Structure 1
Amino acid sequence: MTLSTFTRRAALGAIGSLAASAALAQGNTPRTVRLGYQKSSTLIAVLRLQGTLEQRLAPLGATLSWHEFTSGLPLLEALNLDNLDFSADVADTVPVFAQAAGAQLTFVAQEAPSPTAQAILVRSDSPLKSVSELKGKRVGFAKAAGAHYLLLAALEKAGLSFSDIEPAYLTPADGRAAFERGAIDAWVVWDPFLSAAQKQAGARVLADGTGLASYQRYYLASTRFAQARPDVLGVIYTELEKTGRWVKQNPKEAAALLAPFWGLDAGIVEQANGRRSYAVRPVTPQNITEQQKIADDFLAEKLLPRRVNATDVALFKPQV
């Protein structure tokens, strides 16, 4: 991506902002923010429990509606279909699948890498000791999730390809059930499901993302909404950044707040939160460039329907 291309995009963004201002003046600006999240959307969960976003958005004449999803792919599918305005954090793999489906995405924020917050698990009594032993085995994971890319990267390092395993596309809840009853040989999953499986089911880590997948999580909006309500996105960005710092500085208090909401023991939540960076930062062109390798790796395994240009997205610029 050349500087001139980003300059053109910046100009288009400015035009979009002018259009948004015109919409504001005409009273056509969206008033209800349809916000999608998943169980691993920690910072959004804290904000919801504390009622912070409702309080901060009220002076802007905006209200919130909350929509829970099982994983990142259906969340961004809803964003693409204009059934959502804003998506809480999804793994870095998910946007490339949404782009392949033609989604018009605006990247609002990114969490710094958290490679140990996802892992390939086996049961405590499993004979498997290395990733190379997954050949011919049935492995469960959520399609397009960060876990999916971790599996690809781990298999490649072990000298295997995706075709060497038997994939089982499972939601986290279905994956846990299949894992415990032995219907799958390994399970690739992220926190807090990872910590729950370790503490409750004695799961053993075969490999985590260290040196394989950085596991950066992104917050996104539909480009239509980003152009219409940059004021709302600015508030959300600011509160995410503050909440990320609070969770890391107050691990026990944060775990106590989230535990009943997630239906998990506070110790599990604290362990899971300890693996996530929660360092919210603006998305830069360099960040998006890293997405290209993910997209190309999925395409090479014939798991992506077409090649995508990972940089062909809009970037929200918060006032920081």
Structure 2
Amino acid sequence: MNVLINALNHIRLAWLEQSAYAMKVAVAVLSVGLVHAAIAAESAPPELRIGFQKSAVNLVILKQQGALEKAFPQTKVKWVEFPAGPQILEALSVGSLELGFTGDTPPVFAQAAGKPLYYIGSEPPKPRSSAILVLADSKLHSLSDLKGKKIAFQKGSSAHFLVIRALKKAGLTWADIQPIYLAPADARAAFERGSVDAWAIWDPYYAATQVSIKARPLADGRGLSDNNSFYLASKPLVEKYPQSIKTILKSLSVADEFVQSNRLDAVKYISNFSGLDQQTVTLFLSRRPPSPATPVPAALIANQQSVADSFQELGLIPAKIQVADLVWKPTH
């Protein structure tokens, strides 16, 4: 009898263990199902209007490959090219875009003006990708030589911050130069005519000018500015479609992997889109490190705060801002 009872107990324990295992499996399957259901329930945005520049390599690759159109088949994806970041963020703030890509300075001016937008992602620093240029035969050879000179750059752009940092390193003040606020195309024309003494600019305009007229960099961003770049989104995109944002950032990182492992094809994609010759694109990409897109890390938030503080200290924005207030924090 005892043997029979022990046998029945073993059978009962085995059944309970199997039931517990089955329950764990069921719970795991249910959890995965709930995650998928949450993603599906969110749905994709009906429209995704993207503002970008020629410097936005990952976005250019996505555009050329139609990757976001495939990721969001029910979404109307529209691509809008701009000459610089300030124009992108102005369009974003008035509801003409859902997503944009800029350098470090435009978001500072946008936040100072109370624009409704959020940092959703960033790429690693690219200090070699911007420079203060002079003509090949210029008599300017050091940053201190900029005193009293006319320097062209896009107001509120990353080049603006580069000039601020260059002056500080040279022991000069903002009052020591004549800032000439021009969009990239107009700045290049003025630079080539000799109407300005120097031009602060980023790639690929920087590379194109080097290739075409052998312009000389007085200094690049190394030791001056990290030249960080950010993805920014409208308030509705952040509030309603967080899962879509995660998909976008992943797609951007996949595009960067393509650039790193298929350099010749990437050069062709960018050249075909931009109209820039392949020599210019190759030079441009040679200065660009691997650039996956990720949610903004704490170190870059702190770096961006220092950018904002620099403009506030010079009185170029009216009051101190807190960058972290507008940084999107994804939930798992």
**TM-score, scaled relative to structure 1:** 0.87
Distance 2:331 2:190 in 1: 42
Residues 139 and 187 in structure 1, CA contact (< 8 A), matched pair in contact too: yes
**Gapped runs of 5+ residues in structure 2?**
1-37
* Alignment-mate amino acid for residue 215 of structure 1: N
Match in the other structure for 2:271 = 259
How big is the shift at 1:65? 1.3
Please say if 1:92 is aligned against 2:92: no
Candidates 25, 47, 72, aligned match of 1:57: 72
The 3-state SS of whatever aligns with 1:168 is strand
Match in the other structure for 1:224 = 236
Identical counterparts, % of pairs: 40
How big is the shift at 1:143? 1.1
Distance 2:137 2:165 in 1: 25
Please say if 1:81 is aligned against 2:94: yes
How big is the shift at 1:118? 0.1
Please say if 1:43 is aligned against 2:58: yes
Please say if 1:175 is aligned against 2:187: yes
Which region of structure 1 is more displaced relative to structure 2, 197-206 or 307-316?
307-316
The runs of 4+ residues in structure 1 deviating greater than 3 Å are none
Structure 1 residues 123-157: Cα deviation after superposition (integer angstroms, max 9, x where no partner) = 00111001111111110011111111111001100
Distance 2:195 2:204 in 1: 21
* Alignment-mate amino acid for residue 72 of structure 2: L
Residues 79 and 85 in structure 1, CA contact (< 8 A), matched pair in contact too: yes
Distance 1:71 1:113 in 2: 18
The 3 A distance-change label for structure 1 pair 312 and 90 is same
* Alignment-mate amino acid for residue 60 of structure 2: A
How big is the shift at 1:35? 1.1
Which region of structure 1 is more displaced relative to structure 2, 306-315 or 41-50?
306-315
In our comparison, the structure showing a higher alpha carbon Rg is 2
Residues 140 and 168 in structure 1, CA contact (< 8 A), matched pair in contact too: yes
**Gapped runs of 5+ residues in structure 1?**
1-20
Aligned length: 293
Candidates 264, 270, 277, aligned match of 2:282: 270
The 3-state SS of whatever aligns with 1:113 is coil
Alignment of 1:1-320 (within 5 A): 30-58=45-73, 61-87=74-100, 89-277=101-289, 278-317=291-330
Match in the other structure for 1:7 = none
Which region of structure 1 is more displaced relative to structure 2, 282-291 or 175-184?
282-291
The 3-state SS of whatever aligns with 1:178 is helix
Residues 93 and 294 in structure 1, CA contact (< 8 A), matched pair in contact too: yes
Distance 2:115 2:288 in 1: 27
Distance 1:255 1:206 in 2: 27
How big is the shift at 1:242? 0.8
The 3 A distance-change label for structure 1 pair 98 and 104 is same
* Alignment-mate amino acid for residue 56 of structure 1: A
Distance 1:62 1:231 in 2: 14
CA RMSD of aligned residues (A): 1.8
How big is the shift at 1:78? 1.3
How big is the shift at 1:204? 0.1
How big is the shift at 1:84? 1.1
How big is the shift at 1:231? 2.7
**TM-score, scaled relative to structure 2:** 0.84
Structure 1 residues 37-72: Cα deviation after superposition (integer angstroms, max 9, x where no partner) = 1121111111111111101111xx222112121110
How big is the shift at 1:237? 0.7
* Alignment-mate amino acid for residue 35 of structure 1: I
Structure 1 residues 11-31: Cα deviation after superposition (integer angstroms, max 9, x where no partner) = xxxxxxxxxx8xx67x9x740
Distance 1:180 1:296 in 2: 33
The 3-state SS of whatever aligns with 1:280 is coil
Distance 1:36 1:101 in 2: 20
How big is the shift at 1:285? 3.1
Which region of structure 1 is more displaced relative to structure 2, 162-171 or 248-257?
248-257
Distance 1:247 1:146 in 2: 23
The 3-state SS of whatever aligns with 1:308 is coil
